[in-house]
Structure formats: C-alpha cells, structure tokens
C-alpha cells in the first residue's frame, strides 16, 4: 500500500514538473504562426472527381470507429463493464469527436487552408481532451476524471479558436493548441505507468500512443513516403494508423473486465 502511495506521489511530482515546464516554455517562446507549407501535401491527385482524394478518403476509418464506439457505449450490449459509468459522457464525447474528425478532416483536405483546418482541429481537440478525462477516470479517480471533462474540452476548443482568430488578424499563435496536444501526450504515459488501472486490457492505451507517434512520423515524412510508395503518401497513412490505434482501443473496451 505504501509503495502504491509513493508511486502516486512520484507521478504527481512528474506531472507537476511537466506543467511547470509548459508554463516556462510558454513565457519564453514567441507566438508560433501556422506554416503556410503545412497545407502543401505531396499527394494532390484527383480520383472520382474528389480533389486530394486519398487524403480525403483515408478519413473514412475514423467515421467507422467512431460510430462503432458510440454504438457500443449507448447500446450497453457489451457483456462486460466497458466504461467507467460515472464518466460515461467522456466516452460519448470521445467517439462522437472521432466520428466528426472524419468529416472535419475530409472537409479540410478537399481544400487545405487555415479556414478549413479549423474544422479539422476542433473535433481532434475534443477527442484529445475527452480521452485525457477517460484516462484520469480509469487510472487516477473517477470523480476527478468526470470533473475535468468539460473544463478540458472547453480549454481545447478555446485553444483552436484562439489560433484561428490570431491567424485571421495576421498574428497566428499555435502555442496553446500545441500545449493541448503536448501535455496529455507526455502525462498520459506517466499516469499509465504509476497508477493501477481499474480494468484489464489497459495495454491498448500504449498501442494508441504508439499509433499517435507513428502518425506524426508519417505526417513529417509525407513527401518522402509518397516518393517511395508512389500510390499513397505519408499523410494518408497518418490517418490510417491513427484509426488503427483507435480501433485497438475500441476492441479493448469490448474485451476487458474490471481488474
């Protein structure tokens, strides 16, 4: 018992250190505008009358996983207790946002601009924040996870709206949006490592994090992968590997039992 308490305290210290590092970095780093080259994806081929077709169509798996997740949660037909019931809204928001990522990202890739990117980033941010609430609820405290959900989601949406507004007045600032992604990405592994999960199949969160890292690599090497594979680009693969990580998580919700 004392070892568990010590682990939890150490985890809180690490999270606090990450939080302080974020605050310090925010005060030291100047505003970060959106790089115009971000919208210049290597694969711009039109198929079936759809511009940038593979970057658009590769979002379909998000819709499939999102709808399947919502069906699982809302129907209550799973044979095992697959969610923390007191924080059920977080799971509903998470899979709703995953579904909307397909629409928002598809819309963005039809005509990539800062204006259309807004509709890609809002559902992604809601999914990030809902997932963070879920992880806190499953590993740390159901009550804390539930209480954090709406503030987290509001902060996430605000970070995107702030970025969009600053871009519209020629003073683009991505810093807060970057924090919304960076802080959970760094602290979720800390939580998973040092807190005991309430369910089996917790390994799925590691697969989801691995998929996220792989997706970022595919995004970074978009054109190089396109040159190597010819038929698809790194950005399309980013969508597919992200959806695969989400599918693994969804399947774990179906299979797991209380630990």
Task: Name the token pair of 188.
Answer: 């979720």
The mean pLDDT value for 50-75 works out to 94
Between the alpha carbon of residue 105 and those of residues 42, 54, 98, the distances in Å are 16, 12, 10
Is the pTM value of this prediction over 0.75? yes
- In the chain, where are the structural domains located? 2-29+43-255
CATH no. of 2-29+43-255: 1.20.1070.10
Q: What percent of the chain has pLDDT over 90?
A: 76
Which tens digits make up the pLDDT trace of 17-36? Answer: 999 998 898 888 899 999 98
Which tens digits make up the pLDDT trace of 190-230? Answer: 999 999 888 777 889 999 999 999 999 999 999 999 999 98
The mean pLDDT value for 115-124 works out to 97
Q: What local confidence, expressed as pLDDT, does residue 254 receive?
A: 83
Distance CA 129, CA 151 (A): 9
């Amino acid at each position: 018992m004392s070892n568990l308490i010590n682990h939890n305290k150490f985890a809180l210290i690490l999270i606090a250190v990450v939080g302080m590092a974020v605050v310090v970095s925010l005060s030291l780093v100047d505003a970060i505008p959106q790089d115009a080259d971000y919208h210049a994806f290597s694969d711009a081929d039109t198929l079936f009358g759809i511009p940038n077709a593979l970057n658009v169509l590769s979002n379909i798996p998000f819709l499939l996983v999102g709808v399947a997740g919502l069906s699982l949660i809302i129907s209550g037909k799973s044979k095992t207790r697959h969610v923390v019931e007191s924080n059920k809204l977080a799971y509903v928001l998470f899979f709703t946002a995953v579904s909307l990522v397909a629409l928002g990202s598809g819309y963005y890739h039809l005509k990539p601009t800062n204006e259309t990117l807004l509709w890609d980033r809002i559902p992604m941010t809601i999914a990030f924040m809902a997932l963070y609430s879920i992880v806190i609820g499953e590993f740390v405290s159901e009550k804390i996870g539930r209480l954090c959900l709406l503030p987290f989601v509001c902060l996430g949406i605000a970070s995107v709206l702030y970025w969009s507004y600053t871009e519209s007045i020629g003073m683009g600032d991505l810093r807060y949006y970057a924090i919304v992604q960076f802080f959970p990405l760094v602290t979720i592994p800390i939580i998973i490592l040092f807190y005991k999960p309430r369910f089996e199949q917790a390994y799925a969160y590691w697969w989801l994090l691995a998929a996220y890292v792989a997706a970022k690599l595919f995004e970074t090497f978009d054109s190089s992968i396109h040159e190597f594979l010819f038929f698809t680009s790194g950005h399309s693969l980013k969508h597919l590997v992200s959806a695969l990580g989400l599918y693994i998580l969804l399947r774990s919700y179906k299979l797991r039992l209380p630990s």
